[in-house]
Chains A and B, each alone.
Chain A
Amino acid sequence: MSIADSGDQSVSLDIASAAAGRGPLAMEAISISKDFRLSRSQTLHAVREVSFGLYRGAVVALVGESGSGKSTVARLLAGQEPLTAGSIMLDGAPIDISTHGAFRRYKSAVQLVFQDPFSSLNPVHTVGYHLERPLRLHQASEKGRLERTGRPGKKEITALLKQVRLTPAEQFLPKYPYELSGGQRQRVSFARALAARPSVLLADEPVSMLDVSIRLEMLGLLDDLRRDFQLALLYITHDIASARYFADEVLVMYAGQIVERGPAEQLTQHPAHPYTQLLVASAPDPDNLGSTLRAGAKRDARAPEGANLAATGCPFSPRCPFADDRCREESPALRRVSPTRAAACWRLEIAAPEVLAGTPSLPDHGGVGT
């Protein structure tokens, strides 16, 4: 077991990504950080030294609560915010978004899908217009110049709609967003992202605004698109259960840091970091009707929420049941616990002895397909 020095960057940990088996590396974030200056004296470290890779045809899930920095990571990868530190590689080369043309080429390869299909589509434009524009812009940039005359054919637009299963496509072209249901709007968002023929798709809570009965269908659609287009997919969510089903690798984010990463099934069934354990324990458990909720009713509900992030030490230490003095003083770095898993915690021996002792055998129900 190698224990990384606290000053060590997590890149050097050399943890094999569970997503790597699916395809070649498409995008890599190397120790990226983002600070927001709130005032002269206050700085918010929204993202701190986050590293991971996205592989073609694989899904990496970024799980965390609101405010943990997961959407900021997506915005950084999409080139919408400048990095404070670190670098992002696309197909092995550092990304270049310095000029207008370069940025457009970058956008052709890396597309973002937003959470809210009600506000991410322009209410005054039709579905057809929403898809025509990216087709025109990005196909032109592929050719190196913007063709002002050539309009993308209706055929291409309807093909896109068919890919996201909005059929009969012709009937959807003249429709405005308000005429569509939430699921249909999100399909249009997917189609718009696909119009650029991206290799990387960053999906920021793509289904959390949708009804439960539709979510699954949409995740299934995303999964099909990932397979059909060999997309490298970053799936950002606060729902760790959907990450279990949908993702190859799960990264758990807390207060701007990745606190745990590993293959989806292993991580969700045997969480190592106390925060991941809390996340897993908080998910509704229908097999244990009522009991956990009612037992949990006794504990002080104030503790988790009222507690602020620690100024020093492990950011989770104020909420952590295992925290000791070291946790409150020194921030732990990601530490390798198995060839594919790592967690940032000083007290893993106590928090998750079975994970440290070796990857616990998973109950034989599928596991992560590689």
Chain B
Amino acid sequence: MSAARGDRAAGLGDAPLSTGQSAMEPVLAIRDFSVVYRTKGGDVRAVDQVNLDLHAGEVVGLVGESGSGKSTLAYGACRLLRAPALITSGSVRYQGRRMATPAEIMQLRPDQLKHLRWREIAIVFQSAMNALNPILSVRDQLLDVIHAHLRISREEAREKAASLLDLVGIPRSRLRSYPHELSGGMRQRVMIAMALATDPEVVIMDEPTTALDVVVQRDILAQIVELKERLNFAILFITHDLSLLLELADRIAVMYAGQLLEIGTGSEIQHEPAHPYTKGLLNSFPSLRGPRRELTGIPGSPPDLRQPPPGCPFLPRCAYGTDDCTHVDMSLARVATSPDPEHVTACPFVLPETPIRSAPAARPATTGHPTDTSALVASAAADGEPSHEELTP
């Protein structure tokens, strides 16, 4: 299956945008996508030359810390960003089953865009309490979506609204409820039901379970997997919790400081991480099962994207960094040691077993903006505090 996926992110900038292999073509192909935020202090390079593919029925996990640009990438791809955000380059091609020809989202007219959004690409937002209208009942919100995007009669729409609640396992009696009467998990289910109202082919889920309890989170994830298998939509799942993606996602894209650093399957990311940042993320969450590992985390903080450091953005925090890293090519290339050609990374160096430097950020950390707080922390680590912390009591 994976061999037939055709061109994908590994192909990078030179990936042909109009190949004839329609069957296995990605449903969403993001190419050279860049977004900046215009601020008084200069442009913030939130998303920088990102290439990412989403295939039909696939779950792609996009993982990164806050401010890494993962939401900006997803919203930018749907042209949902407003000023001061500015898409500076790139193309996003959508090829749905219902569409005869691929659509270049960046060039769609507003009316075409309106048709594409929700009908083809739907979004489940993170904060269900803020995304739901507090003064409309669940039924009215569902009807709102249905009438805006589907041409069906009033009775059909009512039946559709009820069946959507069935889909996500909420009793129909809840149609009359208002958002404040629902638990957090139920609200998130309503959000999922709304996203699925128009049978979209791509569902972007932006941290859909972050605010929920583990037990509820698991139920909702199981439900998402079940619905995906039943309705066969593709999911771009945005989260900062890598452990969750290891279980859920077919492929995982690791994002840092606006750039993708690594793409691979869950198992590749877990067992053969090729980028030091991925390795750091894996060492950041305590596991409940198996032997107690020594957890190191990732010292330091992300760079100031107004003045990104030259070369690899992770260099100031990287334990393996060398001087070569300041002028490294950040495009994704195949991991030499991996048998899978789709396992790609931006780090050209094969991870050695032991870090080169034990105390990262020993070098001049971030480009020194005097008020840059991340530079402060990086130099804090340089002050001699042992940065690697051990949690074992």
Contacts and interface: CB of A to CB of B under 8 A. Distances in A.
Q: Do A and B come from one complex?
A: yes
B223 interface: yes
Interface in B230-247: 240-244, 246-247
Nearest to B266: A289
Interface residues of B, number: 66
A366 B247 CA distance: 26
A213 B297 contact: yes
Contacts of A363: 291
Ordered nearest first, which 4 A-B pairs have the shortest CB separation? Answer: A220-B389, A216-B297, A365-B291, A297-B226
A69 to B, nearest CB: 14
Interface string A225-239: 000000000000011
Q: Interface centre among A175, A220, A244, by most B CB within 10 Å?
A: A220
A306 B171 contact: yes
Interface in B180-205: 183-186
A120 interface: no
A80 interface: no
Contacts of B371: 179
Interface stretch (B37-45, B129-137, B282-290): B282-290
Contacts of B377: 166, 181, 183-184
A305 interface: yes
B373 A219 contact: no
6 contacts: A211-B240, A220-B391, A240-B288, A244-B286, A244-B288, A305-B185
Given A213-B281, A290-B247, A279 B391 contact: no
Interface in A244-285: 244-246, 248, 265, 268, 278-285
A293 B221 contact: yes
Nearest to A180: B373
Interface of B: 65-66, 169-171, 183-186, 213-223, 225-226, 229, 240-244, 246-248, 266-267, 270, 280-281, 283-292, 295-299, 301, 371, 373-374, 376-377, 379-380, 383, 385, 389-393
A219 B393 CA distance: 11
A208 to B, nearest CB: 10
Contact of B267 (A219, A289, A305): A289
Nearest to B388: A220
Given A181-B374, A244-B286, A284 B244 contact: yes
Contacts of A143: none
A217 B389 contact: yes
Interface residues of A, number: 70
A85 interface: no
Question: B220, B244, B380, B392: which has the most chain A beta carbons within 10 Å?
Answer: B380
Contact of B246 (A59, A217, A284, A298): A284
A365 B380 CA distance: 33
A304 B338 CA distance: 42
Contacts of B185: 305
A241 B215 contact: no
Contact of B243 (A281, A286, A297): A286
A126 B183 CA distance: 37
Interface residues of A, dominant DSSP: helix
Interface string A100-125: 00000000000000000000000000
A36 to B, nearest CB: 18
A301 B169 contact: yes
B65 A213 contact: yes
Contacts of A268: 288
B223 A219 contact: no
A220 B393 CA distance: 10
Contact of A284 (B184, B213, B215, B247): B247
Contacts of A214: 65, 297-298, 301
A212 B281 contact: yes
B248 A223 contact: no
A287 B243 CA distance: 10
A286 B270 contact: yes
Contact of B214 (A239, A248, A296, A299): A239
Contacts of B218: 281-282, 293, 296
Contacts of A368: 393
Given A181-B373, A213-B280, A268-B288, A301 B240 contact: no
B299 A217 contact: yes
Contacts of B242: 212
Interface in A317-355: none
Given A289-B267, A290-B266, A183 B295 contact: no
